[in-house]
Amino acid sequence: MPWDHRGWHAGGAANNTHIGFEICEPAGFSYKSGSVMVGYDAAKQEDYFRKAWQNTVELCVMLCKKYGLNENDIICHSEGYKLGIASNHADVMHWFPKHGENMDTFRKAVKKALENSTDTNTDIGIGDMVEFKDSVKNYYPGSVEVPTWVKNDYYHRVTQTLYKGKPVIKGGKECVLLGKKVKKSGGQEIAGINTWVAKENLAIVNSIPDNKGNRTYTVQKGDTLWRIAEKELGRGTRYPEIKELNGLTSDTIYPGQVLKLPE
Ligand SMILES: [Zn+2]
């Protein structure tokens, strides 16, 4: 459903004023009396939760920017019920507290991400292709030296920026994980050095000389534009770029369809 279509989601007047979306919970537990989670292992699910949390923050940042909203416009279903504009559901407050979070910490995370996203052009994030700056000697202060081939023969793709939901600081510097490498000659993408590297040692590479033009992707059963963007571009929020590049006017795609992918 397009974001600006009115759907039946909150079950009350919130449908007229709010964008609704669901967050998938992990498997492996059941429910009692509506929304009480039975047999939920929070420690085991922490990784899943942090990924879902991060996705949700990024989605809210994208929607805030697109529709001129801010974190204070974000409410959960149970808050909508208390405001008298949504039906009586407990989500997400039946789940977030199991991981030490609530809607206030969520809004805070969105606020922070909104502030950080104003300089997206210079900030290095998941999916970005980077190279080592010429002057760099170590991955981060105090680490082993960067081998010459790592610097000279390859670009690198950032595949992770957080560990357990938190920035990774090494040698006093914020680091990103380089999980893929791309041969400078030919552009072939292969397994990476899998090393955390200080952001300040890296520069974003905007275009690489390739001989194939745009990469393409064949839509599989169950795919959505969001999922393809997440899988292929590293960030679900980049899905409008796929739409634009392929001249799509709606979010509908079908299995077998071949889509061009942006860099
Ligand atoms: Zn609900």
Reduced to 3 states (helix: H, G, I; strand: E, B; else coil), residue 6 is: coil
Q: For 114-164, what is each residue's pLDDT tens digit?
A: 887 754 445 788 888 899 988 899 999 999 999 999 999 999 999 999 998
Tell me if 93 sits within 8 A of 125, measured CB to CB: no
Q: Mean pLDDT across the stretch 172-181?
A: 94
The pLDDT > 70 percentage for the chain reads 94
Distance 228 CA to ligand 1 centre (A): 26
Distance 60 CA to ligand 1 centre (A): 17
Distance 249 CA to ligand 1 centre (A): 29
Give the pLDDT of residue 209.
Answer: 44
Give the pLDDT of residue 76.
Answer: 97
Give CA 39 to chain center in angstroms: 28
Q: For 26-47, what is each residue's pLDDT tens digit?
A: 999 999 988 999 999 999 999 9
Distance 37 CA to ligand 1 centre (A): 14
Give CA 14 to chain center in angstroms: 26
Give the pLDDT of residue 211.
Answer: 43
DSSP code of residue 232 = I
DSSP notation for 66-107: HHT--GGG---HHHHHHTTSS-S--TTTTTGGGGT--HHHHH
CA proximity to 207, closest of 124, 121, 129, 106: 129
Distance 254 CA to ligand 1 centre (A): 28
CA proximity to 196, closest of 233, 160, 166, 223: 160
Q: Mean pLDDT across the stretch 168-194?
A: 90
Tell me if 111 sits within 8 A of 144, measured CB to CB: no
**C-alpha to C-alpha distance for 137 and 133, rounded to whole angstroms:** 9
CATH topology for 215-261 is: Membrane-bound Lytic Murein Transglycosylase D; Chain A (3.10.350)
Give the pLDDT of residue 121.
Answer: 42
Distance 85 CA to ligand 1 centre (A): 12
Distance 132 CA to ligand 1 centre (A): 46
Distance 78 CA to ligand 1 centre (A): 7
pLDDT of 183 strictly over 60? yes
Distance 35 CA to ligand 1 centre (A): 10
Distance 48 CA to ligand 1 centre (A): 20
**CATH 3.10.350.10 domain span(s) along the chain:** 215-261
Residues belonging to the chain: 263
CA proximity to 210, closest of 159, 155, 128: 155
Distance 220 CA to ligand 1 centre (A): 29
Distance 87 CA to ligand 1 centre (A): 8
For the entire predicted model, the pTM comes to 0.49
- The radius of gyration computed from the CA coordinates of the chain, to the nearest angstrom, equals 21
The residues whose Cβ lies within 5 A of ligand 1, an ion, are 77, 89, 91
Distance 23 CA to ligand 1 centre (A): 10
pLDDT of 94 strictly over 90? yes
CB neighbour list of residue 167: distance below 8 Å, 6 or more residues apart: 161, 174
